[in-house]
Structure 1
Amino acid sequence: MIGRTLAGTNIIDQIGQGGMATVYKAYDPKTDRYVAIKILPEHFAKDETFLIRFENEARAIAKLEHIHILPIFSYGEEDGIMYMVMRYMDTGTLADLIKQGALSFKEASKLLKQIASALDYAHSHNIIHRDIKPSNVLIDNLGNAYLTDFGIAKIVEGQTQGLTGTGLIGTPQYMSPEQCRGEKELTPASDQYSLGIVLYEMVTGKTPYQADTPLAVIYMHVNSEPLTPPSQLRPNLTDAVEQVILKAMANDPADRFPTCGALAEAFAEAVNRSDTVAAITRKTIIPKTPETVQSKDDAQTTVVKPEKTGGRRLSAPVLFIATVGMIAFIIAAAILLQSANSNS
């Protein structure tokens, strides 16, 4: 494909490849800008039913206009090649960010809010993403999130064995239990479950379920296998924060938050509450001796023993000398007084 002209653009380089599509960097001479072109496997174009579904889904996705959704400029079929032309971003993905280590609670909360806002917007337009994962979240140079690959999973559903080898489309580590069971009519709660796993990974650096095969991971999701509590992987993660993450990952969709936005709000509130408690705890420490204590955010705080404000206590030798002197003074005064009386 490199060097070929497609959709009025010149394809320059391949920048990504997944189980459902290949992504290329291209130059659009009409707009004098670089774009990303997502190309679906060529054999799909031979299926008339698939062509109709692609047209319908692509049209719906292209109508999504949200600040945190990567825009689609155009889509279509040309010479048996089905494509989507999108905004090009070269600053990496959330997956790249997580590889550098777990995110701070503040950064995770910011990105969660942006992704949740994009999902709620799509859900309000009856579009379920179906493949929420860090590699589908692009990050710009200001640290803002852009959700991509909306509806791709649904477009190719039933046309391939996907990544699971079972005909299920999605990424096993992030699939909801209902998606793992092959339920066709997924709800926004399915995307929320996947977002909960992304949140777990953002704050711990790991996904909750890991196994040697995709089917084993699917089994763990469906049966709610015990997972490592986030607080065990990150000691300064409070119980309130942990409960928010686990609620989003509830096996029963009814037990999750009503919306992805509600999840983001609950997480932000739990983080802020934890920060407030930690700050108050640091300010109300009653110092006893000069020592170093460990605070909730792993910063060291030194507290100093205050000086006593009462009068100075006299030592035993000084007190003895003062007492003897006082007795001698009293005896001398008595002798002088007796002598004076005798003379008179």
Structure 2
Amino acid sequence: MTGADDAGESDARRDELFWKIALKNSLVTREQVRECREIQRRIEDLGVSAKPIGDIMLEKGFVDREVHDRILAKIAALGASHRIEGYKLQEKLGQGSMGVVWRARQISLDRIVAVKILAPFLQKNERFVSRFLKEAKVLARLNHPHIVQCIDVGRSHGLYYFAMEYVDGPTVGSIVKRGGRMADERATRIILQVAMALDHAFEHSIIHRDIKPDNIMIASGGVVKLCDLGLVKDLDTGGDTTDTGTTLGTPNYISPEQARGDEFIDQRSDIYSLGATYYHMVTGVTPFQYENPAATLVAHLNEVPKTPRERVPELSAETSRIISKMLRKNPDDRYQRPSQVVADLEKHLARLTGEGDPLLLIRPRRRRRR
């Protein structure tokens, strides 16, 4: 079975559980379930993955946010007690397609950590177990102030989990959603720190493949942390948990080569996605505004977005230039390495702030890639 087949199987199972729970509890009608499943079928006919049926029900107003989240929590809890040896789970922080992240207390060291638990219905799916454990192993390899650190990985009471550094702060996505576009200097300071994280990952032959505002967290003191490495790829070994031809990433920030499902994806794809993220932060909108994910993918392949300065005239010309270079369609026309992005952003931020070293961050010793 391929990765795409596994993903489809797990999504279908989750959707089936969602509508059955909603129907059993008289939260929706059979007609509403049929309507939502028909919408999914039409989206799939366009060649892209359909939204989860719960999201469609939410958008149609068939269920509200509280009901939607309660059903997802019930699905995540099916067949498991969520007990992890050595940790006391305290509060659910978030939930994705692969599992749940909890705030927890590590009993042995009496400290707060984040614990990610693979969804119970995926615990016997070899493909997803492999992807889950790969994320933990990659985090353990990377030791950088701007990448969330892995603390522990294992299996407890039948559940695969890994514990990581707890970041007590918002995501860039939530900041932009709540407050609109960011000031030039603030956005540049954040993107510089993410570029440093990507440079460190590249030096260890790792690419992220899902850079977006929701995967960038702001810790206390304004320190940026890159998280969610569930789609990482090892450039040295070719290690991957997905298959050629599978479109991975988030449509609003995806690189053209990822949108095509190209077999060879390298660090320049992350640079494009970081550029799309930077664009969103300083303009308040994504490079392309299509409601249909398929149309967004096509736009990344064929359309040139308005420059950031065309959208926000008061934005600095250098910010607009850097973003535009990161968003070139041809990878050969972009920055070739994250270190080049770091160099330009450091000079730019120094001009914006008038400081010699605006970050005053300790840079880890670099390891040269052969």
TM over 0.5, shorter chain: yes
1:207-243 Cα deviation digits (max 9, x unpaired): 11121121111111122x1322211221112433312
Q: Secondary structure at the match of 2:247?
A: coil
1:13-57 Cα deviation digits (max 9, x unpaired): 211122343211122221112211112233433234554554455
Q: Distance in 1 between matches of 2:284 and 2:329?
A: 22
The code of the aligned residue for 1:59 comes to: K
Structure 1 segment 1-344 matched on structure 2, within 5 A: 1=77, 4-48=82-126, 50-52=128-130, 54-99=132-177, 100-152=179-231, 157-158=241-242, 167-223=246-302, 225-270=303-348
Q: Does the 8 A contact of 2:131 with 2:230 survive in 1?
A: no
1:167 shift after superposition: 4.8
1:178-200 Cα deviation digits (max 9, x unpaired): 11111233101011000001111
TM value normalised by structure 1: 0.70
The code of the aligned residue for 2:325 comes to: K
The code of the aligned residue for 1:256 comes to: R
The code of the aligned residue for 1:124 comes to: E
Q: Distance in 2 between matches of 1:92 and 1:216?
A: 30
Tell me which residue corresponds to 2:358.
none
The code of the aligned residue for 1:75 comes to: V
Which is worse superposed, 4-13 or 123-132? 4-13
Q: Distance in 2 between matches of 1:15 and 1:56?
A: 21
The verdict on how the C-alpha distance between 1:134 and 1:65 changes in structure 2, with shifts beyond 3 A counting, is: same
Q: Does the 8 A contact of 1:153 with 1:169 survive in 2?
A: no
1:91 shift after superposition: 1.5
Give the number of equivalent residue pairs.
269
Q: Does the 8 A contact of 1:109 with 1:264 survive in 2?
A: no
Question: Which runs of no fewer than 5 residues in structure 1 stay unpaired?
Answer: 160-165, 277-344
Tell me which residue corresponds to 1:319.
none
The verdict on how the C-alpha distance between 1:156 and 1:211 changes in structure 2, with shifts beyond 3 A counting, is: farther
Q: Distance in 2 between matches of 1:157 and 1:210?
A: 30
1:274 shift after superposition: 7.4
Tell me which residue corresponds to 1:289.
none
Q: Does the 8 A contact of 1:20 with 1:152 survive in 2?
A: no
Q: Distance in 2 between matches of 1:45 and 1:275?
A: 49
1:82 shift after superposition: 2.1
1:98 shift after superposition: 1.9
Question: Which runs of no fewer than 5 residues in structure 2 stay unpaired?
Answer: 1-76, 234-238, 355-370
Q: Does the 8 A contact of 2:184 with 2:319 survive in 1?
A: no
The verdict on how the C-alpha distance between 1:141 and 1:40 changes in structure 2, with shifts beyond 3 A counting, is: same
Q: Secondary structure at the match of 1:109?
A: helix
Q: Secondary structure at the match of 2:221?
A: coil
The verdict on how the C-alpha distance between 1:3 and 1:30 changes in structure 2, with shifts beyond 3 A counting, is: farther
Tell me which residue corresponds to 2:39.
none
1:138 shift after superposition: 1.0
Q: Distance in 1 between matches of 2:162 and 2:265?
A: 24
Q: Distance in 1 between matches of 2:180 and 2:307?
A: 18
Q: Does the 8 A contact of 2:176 with 2:284 survive in 1?
A: yes
The code of the aligned residue for 1:252 comes to: N
1:275 shift after superposition: 8.2
Q: Distance in 1 between matches of 2:267 and 2:279?
A: 19
Q: Distance in 1 between matches of 2:169 and 2:131?
A: 32
Q: Distance in 2 between matches of 1:268 and 1:258?
A: 17
Q: Distance in 2 between matches of 1:260 and 1:275?
A: 22
The verdict on how the C-alpha distance between 1:157 and 1:215 changes in structure 2, with shifts beyond 3 A counting, is: farther
Q: Distance in 2 between matches of 1:244 and 1:33?
A: 40
Q: Distance in 2 between matches of 1:184 and 1:138?
A: 30
